[in-house]
Structure 1
Amino acid sequence: MNILLVAATQPEIQPLLDYFGDEKPFDVLITGVGMVATAFALGNHFAQNKYDLVINLGIAGSFDRSLVLGEVVEVEEDILSELGAEDGNGFLTIEDLGFGESRFRPIGTMLFLPVKKVRGITVNTVHGDENSIRKITKRLQPQLESMEGAAFFYACKNSMVPSVQIRSVSNYVEKRSRENWKIGLAVKNLNDFAIGLLKKLSLLRCHLDHGGNFHST
């Protein structure tokens, strides 16, 4: 089982890299921040490499106050929330315009992760204004926001690669207040969870190498 880990920045997964050291049972791709960098890096990488599973790891802001800071979640739907056109006070999605799609989901991993499943949006500008937060909440009811998630799903879908997006909540989406953020906790919890998952997948790969069948993890 060939596995690729994808992150926007190396600090988000540094504890995991330190844990596995030179014996990493996976490849790593650091894309850079944002959907453009993510889509380009993945498209280029997929043109030269084949994988059985691609895992996107990162931290994110939460609109949903029922999610605890530091909580690890799986994004089961991600939306390019800005892709479309303004129409007075309204918004026309790319689907409304007939030019494409803005909603993406993971494809065929057969993984069943013991975490909450959430709906995310992917943005170029993270929200920090009460009016814009109110508008996007009314329009899409997102639980999480990142700057890469939907682009990750888009690249995996078009390359037909099984994918999963795992994120940890570093802050609530509100007027920018870094003193309330829990980045260290989010990174720790994300990496602890990912290390456990990758150890299980490594055992599964050994099982498959000895003629076993892949059911689930």
Structure 2
Amino acid sequence: MNAVRLLVVTAVTAERDAAARGLDATAPPRPHPLPGHRMVRTTGHGVPRPVRADLVAAGVGPAAAAAATGAALTAAALWREPYDLVIAAGIAGGFAPVADLGGVVVADRVVAADLGAETADGFLPVDALGFGTTVHTCAPRLGAAVARALGAVHAPVLTVSTATGTTESAAALRHRHQDAAAEAMEGFGVAEAAAAHGVPLLEIRTVSNTVGARDRAAWRIPEALAALRDTFAVLRTVLDRAAPPPYM
């Protein structure tokens, strides 16, 4: 069977390398050219279908994520190696008690939580202003299957440009997005680029800290990176056995 082609977009190299180890523990990923970005390619193993991934550390924030994702998708189209699936991935803050430390969140939707305008009556998202969208839906059937396999929360992941650092701002964010499970900083940028190229999307996050008052001593980054590695090992197995792309 044909290989599954993945593009995995993270913020930093530690997240990228954890995902790469999960996808293929048999050999280190090799550098793969993408101008202006740090991308690697896994060898790809799997039965019955190999999973081959390009992984890029895009930088922090939705703008950097969109730029790197768009560059990778354009390069793949020019090389006639299109991707079957784009995955925004990394560690994140979780909204307790929905997503606790060490947990995994598979997004059903990616939401730009702070894209809009402040008004005297409160925050207005950009779609309410008539300027675009703040929500992208992830591949529903595949996302549900991955969440089941991982025992993960399947719920919205918020994208913010400023990480939440107070109890008050966390409460305001949760009030506007009551079903959200996690907060990160790149997913919506990845989603915008994937949508422009017509490629299905997932966002997968492992929880390193609780959204709220900023307490670095309570963060569990090494544990979240280890969970990210393990998560991608499970994902590889799910993709081995999933129905052929496109993932809808």
1:15 equivalent to 2:22? Answer no
Deviation at 1:86, TM superposition (A): 0.9
Number of residue pairs aligned between Structure 1 and Structure 2: 208
1:194, CA displacement in angstroms?
0.2
Cα distance between partner residues in 2 of 1:147 and 1:15: 18
Q: CA RMSD in A?
A: 2.2
Whether 2:99 is the aligned partner of 1:77: answer no
Q: Is the 8 A contact 2:63 2:189 kept in 1?
A: yes
What is the CA-CA distance between 1:40 and the residue it aligns to?
A: 0.8
Pairs within 5 Å for 1:149-168: 149-168=187-206
Q: Which moved more, 1:2-11 or 1:23-32?
A: 23-32
- Relative to the length of structure 1, the TM-score reads 0.87
Residue of 68, 75, 85 corresponding to 1:53: 85
Measure how far apart 1:139 and its partner are.
1.6
Alignment of 1:105-184 (within 5 A): 105-107=137-139, 110=142, 112-113=145-146, 114=148, 115-141=152-178, 142-184=180-222
Which of the numbers 42, 48, 56 marks the counterpart of 1:29? 56
Residues 46-105 of structure 1, C-alpha deviation per residue, up to 9 Å, x if partnerless? Answer: 112110122222010012324221111201112111111111141121121111111111
TM-score, scaled to structure 2: 0.76
1:95 aligns to what SS in structure 2? coil
Counterparts of 1:35 and 1:138 in 2: how far apart (Å)?
A: 22
Letter in 2 for 1:171: N
Unmatched 5+ stretches in structure 2: 30-41, 45-52, 77-81
Unaligned regions of 5+ residues in structure 1, if any? 206-212
**2:10 corresponds to which letter in structure 1?**
A
Determine whether 1:41 maps to 2:73.
no
